[in-house]
A = this chain, B = another copy of it.
Amino acid sequence: MRKGFLILTSVVRKGFLTCIFVKEADLTTQRARGGRVTIHDLARVAGVSVSTVSKALNDNGRMAAETRARIKRMAAEIGFRPNALARGLLSSRSFTIGLLTNDTYGRFTLPVMAGISDALVDHGVSVFLCAIEDDPALGKVHVDAMLDKQVDGIIATGKRIDRSLPVDLAGLPVPVVYAFTAGASDSVTFTADDAQGAALATAWLKKLGRRRLVHITGPEDFVSVRERASAFASEAGEGGSVRYGVWSESWGHQAVADLWSAGGPLPDGIFCGNDQIARGVVDALRERGVKVPEDVSVIGFDNWEILAEQTRPPLTTIDMNLKELGREAGLMVLALAEGRPAEPGLRKLPCKLVVRQSCGGAQTN
């Protein structure tokens, strides 16, 4: 065996065993790199230059079809995968985006994240998740770290459309898309269509023959609360009334107690601002001996499955299609990163009705 040389790998090609000799120094280099195989290794093994390898793998340049195929085959054999850092340095595309979020429990962020990831993984894009927990300093640290890492874009997401993240994303050198959080007026923003969702819920109650409708919802300072209440009011007509409160089960309980002790005509349909309130309402009604859905239909909002499915009876509710929203936001930020233009403005995505048992009515939809 040649002195100072070692066998790197042996390849069986066309039935012949070919031994590849590499200088010991090269192997040492390779060790230091963590055993990663580079395009140079592949070129050496294939007996061509690195440029030829690159062109072969990227279907660029002119070359004999046989050469291209052979190089591709050997690349697969030795497990060559191009270093995305080097690639990104050259192309100024890192195939990486950042997801900035405010939402600690992830009730909104996780489905959105799932949609983003789902849409972008096919494009080779990975997602940095940065939870900033309402802390401006932490937000800045994360944004700086993302920019240092040359993210191709940023998606900012929060819990409500009428508050912005505690960090300034204007004037960044990368595109920013907002989801469920407020952006500048000339930015691209995605949110759920609250009015349409509320109308959907109210129409469903009416379709089931309910006429004395109440909307028990969250704090009036949420713009989405006002939009839903307004849509509810116009859909419900004369019979509809709205009660504002907080986003908790106990508010649902209390609202039922208030209604049933008020002495007026009792509602036969209740549209709740979220599934937690609905859970409280359903529990309170059961405790009063009011039958759901026989006496009263209750519909929630959010389709927070882990809660909606465990309620007795399971909640019919409105789903904001958060995963789809994430998917669209992901594709949008990708488009912007690739220089494709997009019209700024607020995009409202439709909600859908999820029928379980708390309203009665057809299970099929």
Contacts and interface: CB of A to CB of B under 8 A. Distances in A.
Contacts of A35: 173
Contacts of A174: 34
A276 B113 CA distance: 25
Interface string A276-297: 1000000100010000000000
Interface in A280-327: 283, 287, 306, 310, 312
A84 interface: yes
A312 B142 CA distance: 39
A138 B131 CA distance: 24
Nearest to A82: B148
Contacts of A145: 121, 124, 126
Contacts of A196: none
Contacts of A110: 104-106, 110
Given A121-B145, A248-B310, A310-B250, A34 B92 contact: yes
A54 interface: no
This chain: copies in complex: 2
A81 interface: yes
A224 interface: no
Given A104-B114, A105-B110, A106-B110, A85 B81 contact: no
Contacts of A128: 96, 126-129
5 contacts: A36-B173, A86-B89, A96-B149, A104-B110, A113-B131
- Among A83, A124, A126, A138, find the residue whose CB has the most chain B CB atoms closer than 10 A: A126
Contacts of A114: 104, 131
Contact of A149 (B84, B142, B144): B84
A149 B130 contact: no
A93 to B, nearest CB: 10
Nearest to A99: B129
A165 interface: no
Interface string A147-173: 111100000000000000000000001
